[in-house]
Amino acid sequence: MKKATKSKLTKYICLGYLVYIILVLLYFYVFTTSDLPSKYKGTFVDPHTFMNHKEANLSSSYSTLKNVLYFITLPIDWIVLSLLLLSGSIERLGDSLSKLTRFKFIQVFLYFFFVSVATYIVSFPIDFYRFKLSTKYGLSVQSFNAWMKDEMIGFWINFAMMFFVMYVVYLLIKKQPKKWWLTAWLLSIPFTIFLTFIQPVVIDPLYNDFYPLKDKNLEKKIITLAKEANIPAHRVYEVNMSTKTTTYNAYVTGIGKNARIVLWDTTLKGLTEDEIMFIMAHEMSHYVHKDIYKSMFGMLAGSLVGLFIIHLLLKYVLSKSRSSHSTDKMAVILTIFLIISGIVGFISDPISNAFSRSAEKRADLYAVKLTHDPESGIIAFQKLSKNSLSQVNPPFLVKLFRYDHPTMLERMRYLEAAEKRINNK
């Protein structure tokens, strides 16, 4: 690629990002609103009925700012990598590494360490601002040191996993230029299963402390409910999150003997027993319907298509690059791979989110069936919205790209419909 062409592309990228930022700001502050349709105002789904005026305003301002930050920072890694590539820095780095050592393993390690540190440094000010923002709005109670500890744990876990992926991908591209994507996908199957299996017992405990439920009275009720759903009750865990956040959460994680349902201790403190039982029934649905396995299967199916698309795009981009004449341009190939895979992954988010929202709706309705108490579910959702300062009715693009659960408006509405069906029987 000619120097003049690279210079033009650099200008286009910078100008394009500036235009993108303006469009994001216009979308959230001018063209869209999170206000409810008039027919829902004053009803139980209206935040003003379960939040005071100050809380409702805080919820709106925080959610909007959080979403703006998400979309503005979304392409930063791609832009940083693109600018490093166009400036020749990546190619010079690759050349220096090839002179430093002949071992590709070490070359890829040093290359990915440089890229990871560079993108982390660029993103750090915004990540730090997010941390300060969540502290300002009362959602985080972490100290800076505790937050940095989690940041470093996340950095090194991500680095270790992605370095392994990068090294394998490079070897496959070099040895199987036409079929690398298929071999990479086949190798990803045991890798994905292994990570899902070890996550609850190896990765998650690096961040938090997990233990059996402390409230034995609640535990007995959960055991009774679990028996109805044919779920081993010993797989319900409590996690100490109150040292980090004030928000509520519960989730299902792991597969096989490591499968478990996890409740944050903030959830146990902030919700009533009936509300907790509804949340537990919701999570039990994921266990009963094997949603972790379905999600894993869907992710693998999606990655097969995604890797093939990445292969085609990578082939096209390299054909337009001067560096494509050498299969030893490791740094160039992997940088282009990172950019393309990041963009393809983002574009696929709406599809995976849609499937996830379907499973979450089924879990809500299963919880109604198991507890016969949709009212507690509605109250729990109101508390979750208030506690996390989340929007009941977020803008369309936020739901499309960020929501793997139905909106709170949707969830409370179909719980209301379920409650009416129960009352009419």
**Local confidence pLDDT in tens for the 425 residues of the chain:** 677 777 888 999 999 999 999 999 999 999 998 788 889 899 999 999 999 989 999 999 999 999 999 999 999 999 999 999 999 899 999 999 999 999 999 999 999 999 999 999 999 999 999 999 999 999 999 999 999 999 999 999 999 999 999 999 999 999 999 999 999 999 999 999 998 888 888 999 999 999 888 888 888 888 888 888 777 666 788 999 999 999 999 888 888 888 788 899 999 999 999 999 999 999 989 989 999 999 999 999 999 999 999 999 999 888 877 544 444 588 999 999 999 999 999 999 999 999 999 999 999 999 999 999 999 999 999 999 999 999 999 999 999 999 999 999 999 999 999 888 877 76
Helix segments in 238-373, DSSP class H: 265-270, 273-288, 291-319, 330-371
Q: Where are the beta strands (DSSP E) in 87-140?
A: none
Q: In 3-state terms, what secondary structure has residue 208?
A: coil
What's the start-to-end Cα distance of the chain, in Å? Answer: 72
387: CB partners within 8 A, 6+ apart: 246, 247, 248, 270
Positions annotated as catalytic residues are 283
* 310 close to 80: Cβ distance less than 8 angstroms: no
Report the distance separating Cα 271 and Cα 373, nearest Å. 15
* 104 close to 330: Cβ distance less than 8 angstroms: yes
* 384 close to 390: Cβ distance less than 8 angstroms: yes
Segments making up each domain of the chain, as ranges: 3-177+313-424
